[in-house]
Each structure stands twice: as C-alpha cells, then as structure tokens.
Amino acid sequence: MILVAGIGSEPPVARAVAAADARGAPYILFDQRRYRHAKLVLGNDTGHVSGHLDIDGERHDLSRLTGIYLRLMDDHMLPGVRDLAADDPERQRVRALHDAFYCLAEVAPCRVANRPRHMLSNQSKPYQADIIRRHGFRIPETLVTNDPEAAYAFWQSCRTDGDDVIYKSLSGVRSIVETVDAADIDRLGRLAACPVQFQRRVRGTDIRVHVVGSATFAAEIDSTATDYRYASRQVDAAAELAVAELPPRVAAAAVRLADTLLLPFSGIDLRRTPDGYWYCFEVNPSPAYSYYESHTGLPIADALVRYLGAEMV
C-alpha cells in the first residue's frame, strides 16, 4: 500500500493518485486540506516502526506500507491555519500532525520519495554542484557573492567573451532565473544584504530528466527564454516540450547522481551544448513532474506508483 501525502488537487499529487487508480494499486491519500479528518500515531515496537493513520474514521496499519510519496506544502500556509496565532491550539495540532508525517517518512522501512533529510542537499546549490561535477556532468562557471565589484567584474568578463550572465537563488527556494541586464547592474549595491549566485549562461538545449528508481524519463525543451518555466512571461511564447532520447552514458550518470544524493525520485536539469557537452544545473528533490508529463505523455506518475509499490527497481 502506498501513502500519498500532499494537496490532493495539486497536479503532481493528483496524477500519482490517478496512476494508482489506473493500475489498481492500493493507496492512502492524506490531503492536507482535510487535516481535521486525519490522525497519525507512531510507535516503536522492538525496533520496528508501528502505528496507524486514521482518515475519515478509517484506520490504516502503517506496517502495510510499501512506499510513501511525500509532497507536503508548508502547513503554516494551509487555509484555516495561516491566520491563526502561533500559540493557537489548532495551529499546534496541525504542526504536530505534519511533524509526525515527516518522522514517518524518515524512519519508515519502505520506499520513500523522498526522505526529508535527503532533500536538504538542494538547500545549497554550490554544495549540490560539487556532487554533480563528480558524476561526469559539467557545471556552469559560477560566482556566489555579496560583493558588487566582484559581480560586476564577472559580468564584464563573460560579456567580453560574448556570453550572458544569469542569476538565481542559492537555496532550494524557487526563484525565476533571469539574465543580468543594465538595470541589474545599477542595483548591484543591494548584494551587500543578500548573496546571489551568478553563472555564465551556457548555450544549448534544455533537457529535464526525471529519475524514478533506476528508470529515466527525459523531455527536451524548445524555448528562447532564460527560464523556460516562465517563457510566456519572458518571451511571450510558451515553451515546447518533446520526448528526448538520452545517450546511455548520460542516463546512467543521472541515475548514479540521484542514487548518490539518495533521491530515488528526482528532476535533473541538464543542458546539451551544440558541441555535445552535458551541463547539469541542479537536482530537484520534489519535482513538479506533472508539467513535463502533461506536455509529453511520459509515464512518470505510473513509474512512481510502480516504484513505490515495489514493482520496479
């Protein structure tokens, strides 16, 4: 039995549930919006995780779990919770419930996509980049700084070579990748308050690879936007996606990278240059795979369900 935990209507969660239904795989859905109808009890029975999850009055034995798909939003932002005082008993109960889910995901002996502690590598892009480089992928020339002069010198050096510079957040907090322009140069003084990651822009084609266990699913993205996720905003034209065929060595490297990071379900952002080099920007531990699946038909949700149901390696 698979436990799916998240917002039931969010596409990644909804697609996982639909895939489980289509396959006839048994599952439990903890919809965070229905937190009032859930109770999670954890125990330790002679070194083995025990307990039960009650949802809408139905009890589920946690020892029957084969896998957990964890995609929880910040419980502080849930409707009905976000406006409560920090010491409100209802807010504290909801926090305790979510803490219990995170604890379960950490210690459950079944497959988990992904364990919270293993997702922390994405909280530091430079740390993750060092691991990426060890697996045969190139990484962009990068400067992390809060020094305006250093940032300006890096921008000038790249521009001299005919290359643009992009900037984005250092952490796992989602940011829109933008190209440094003249207006940005005028506000470099703000860096003193917040370090930023600058990178030489790599020319080439974006490839998003989803790793599920030992399987890979690749999508090629056609867009002139700096950040194709926001292509309509940046270049007034939506990105076009298609199924991509990865060279075996690249697919194998992606699986090894995900395995090293202990992220059996991950979204890896690659770029293939015109001269055949492969760059890797990051490994997303909670990928919004539904965007890629809906545009390409790649059976990512089905693979996730089969993996968590212990039907595939």
- pLDDT lower than 50: segments of the chain: none
Identity of the residue numbered 65: L
If asked whether residues 225 and 285 sit together in one domain, one would say: yes
CATH number of residue 178's parent domain: 3.30.1490.20
Q: Please give the tally of structural domains in the chain.
A: 3
Residue 40 located in a structural domain: yes
* 292 and 273 in a common domain: yes
State whether 164 and 105 are in the same domain: no
* CA 277 – CA 242 distance, rounded (Å): 20
Same domain, 102 and 128: no
Q: Cα separation of 228 and 239, whole Å?
A: 6
Residues 65 and 7 both lie in one domain: yes
Structure tokens at 271: 């770029």
Angstrom distance (rounded) from CA 119 to CA 126: 15
Q: Does residue 292 form part of some domain?
A: yes
305 lies in a domain? no
Indicate the DSSP class of residue 181: -
Question: So what's the pLDDT on residue 252?
Answer: 97
Q: What is the pLDDT of residue 194?
A: 86
> Which of these three, 162, 177, 200, is where a domain ends?
200
Q: 291, exposed or middle or buried, with CB in 10 Å at 0-12, 13-18, 19+? A: middle
Same structural domain, 257 and 146? no
Is 72 domain-assigned? yes
CA–CA gap between residue 7 and residue 90 (Å, rounded): 19
pLDDT at 313: 66
pLDDT at 310: 84
Asked, as a colleague might, if the bond just before 284 is cis with ω within 30 of 0, I would say: no
Q: Is there a single domain that holds both residue 223 and residue 279? A: yes
Name the token pair of 238. 């939506």
Please state, in angstroms and rounded to a whole number, the distance separating the CA atoms of residues 163 and 64: 54
232 domain-assigned: yes
Query: 265 with 302: CB under 8 angstroms?
Result: no
For residues 193 and 56, state if they share a domain: no
Q: What's the residue count for the chain?
A: 313
Predicted local distance difference test score (pLDDT) of residue 231: 86
For residue 152, the model assigns a pLDDT of 95
Residue 219 in any domain: the answer is yes
What's the confidence (pLDDT) of residue 44?
A: 76
Whether 124 and 269 share a structural domain: yes
pLDDT given for residue 293 in this prediction: 98
Question: 194: buried, middle or exposed (CB in 10 Å: 19+, 13-18, 0-12)?
Answer: exposed
Instruction: Assess whether 42 and 160 both reside in one domain.
Output: no
Q: Are 131 and 20 part of one and the same domain?
A: no
- From 159, 177, 200, give the residue that closes a domain: 200
Residue matched to tokens 């795989």? 25
Query: 152 and 231 share a domain?
Result: no
Domain region containing 228: 120-137+203-298
**For tokens 């034209």, what's the residue?**
237
Q: DSSP string spanning 90-135?
A: HHHHHHHHHHHHHHHHHH-SSEEE--GGGGGGGG-HHHHHHHHHTT
CA-nearest of 159, 70, 160, 170 to 129 is 170
